[in-house]
Structure 1
Amino acid sequence: MADTPKVGFTRMKDGTAEDYALLHELEKPYLALTADRVLDELRRQGDATLEGYRITRMTHGLQSATRAERDGADIDWIVGALLHDIGDGLAPQNHDRFSAEVIRAFVRWDVAWVVEHHGIFQMLYYAHHYGWDRNARDRFRDHPCFDSCAEFCERWDQSSFDPDYDTLPLEHFEPMLREVFARKAYDPDVIREGYVSPLTAG
């Protein structure tokens, strides 16, 4: 098997059009495997407990997505619920922003915004026990996605730590995840900047 061709430069500023055309082509198979890498990370979270909680990190995501689907949410909200904590492994202190960046190029902007800010909205349920401001989310009170984030947390995030809940398996959500990550990145028809979608069909 022939070696993969290489660019000629050692500094990016010295690259030629041909170098960057080569990199563009070589990147395509890697980009096509994004969904596989995300699925692998979810599976790794199945081996990692939420320390002190009664379920794993993966189960929390699956349970959130299961609740979203059963509430009649569309595919963007379901995948957002599934992956809202995908950043926990590498960025536990800012996992919400990390998770949002994983999905931002492939889902509606409001879904990405909610995932990015769900951490501060979740503080409503526990921050007072640490002497913190449980209403820190109020700084976003005038944002058009405020109500969506509050509802996301109430319906799907804070309630999804139940080991007895009938949670759907990862295999159920895999086709949805693959469909979302197969989209053209940052497609304006997908992102729909400024549009605030309902969380449920009802």
Structure 2
Amino acid sequence: MQDDQVSFTQMKDGTKEEYLLLQELEKPYIALTADRILDELRRQGDASLEGYKINRLQHGLQAATRAERDGADIDWVVGALLHDIGDGLAPQNHDRFSAEVIRPFVRWDVAWVVEHHGIFQMLYYAHHYSWDENARDQFKDHPCFDSCATFCERWDQSSFDPDYDMLPLEHFEPKVRQVFARKAYDPENVREGFVSSLSA
């Protein structure tokens, strides 16, 4: 076995020492998570929202700017910025994909809202396709229902305006780096069961 490589070809054959080696070797890659997130956001600047007046990056920037201007904390601002980060690879379930990107690092209510914002957004357009615009009502007894409704009304559905004075990605970069530098799934960050305010 090379010093920087395991000997097994099936995971079930790995030793504790090999898995500890892998854990150590993966640390630099994990440390660059924020860089990869920011790179994906920049790529979204080249990805149109077909038919809309803005691109995908601008939509996220507008949502995050609105959140920040409402006095939302860092988890909500980063959640708003990244709520559609999954569009590139998972356009049919981007909400759930996006939630999994942020889930290890933000409060559970923020991840829940991002995960469900797609169905809540249907309130604004589903009737045009003869779909159920009230599909979100299946979650009416969930503690995050009002948070998700507010997120969609104030920050998501309203953020398609080419004239909105949005803050640039560089403004949000320190917040992205701070959130993704957290220990993954730290109970102090996740705060399971706590429902936070979306504004100051």
TM-score class, shorter-chain normalisation, is over 0.9
For 1:67 and 1:18, the matched residues in 2 are separated by 48
What are the equivalent positions in structure 2 for 1:1-202 lying under 5 Å apart? Answer: 5-201=4-200
For 1:159 and 1:62, the matched residues in 2 are separated by 12
Counterpart AA for 1:72? G
Structure 2, gaps ≥5 residues long: none
Secondary structure of residue in 1 paired with 2:177:
helix
For 1:159 and 1:36, the matched residues in 2 are separated by 28
Cα offset, 1:190, TM superposition? 0.5
Secondary structure of residue in 1 paired with 2:175:
helix
Counterpart AA for 2:111? A
For 1:189 and 1:22, the matched residues in 2 are separated by 28
Deviations 1:128-180 (Å, cap 9, x if unpaired)? 00000000000000000000000000000000000000010000000000000
For 1:12 and 1:107, the matched residues in 2 are separated by 30
For 1:100 and 1:184, the matched residues in 2 are separated by 17
Secondary structure of residue in 2 paired with 1:175:
helix
Cα offset, 1:18, TM superposition? 1.2
Cα offset, 1:4, TM superposition? 6.9
- Cα RMSD for the two superposed structures: 0.8
Cα offset, 1:5, TM superposition? 1.3
Structure 1, gaps ≥5 residues long: none
For 1:19 and 1:68, the matched residues in 2 are separated by 44
Counterpart AA for 2:158? S
Judged with a 3 Å threshold, the aligned counterparts in structure 2 of structure 1 residues 167 and 4 are, in CA distance, closer, same or farther, namely farther
For 2:185 and 2:171, the matched residues in 1 are separated by 26
Cα offset, 1:17, TM superposition? 1.1
Counterpart AA for 1:85? D
Secondary structure of residue in 2 paired with 1:59:
helix
The percent of aligned pairs where both chains have the same amino acid is 82
Aligned length: 199
Judged with a 3 Å threshold, the aligned counterparts in structure 2 of structure 1 residues 57 and 4 are, in CA distance, closer, same or farther, namely farther
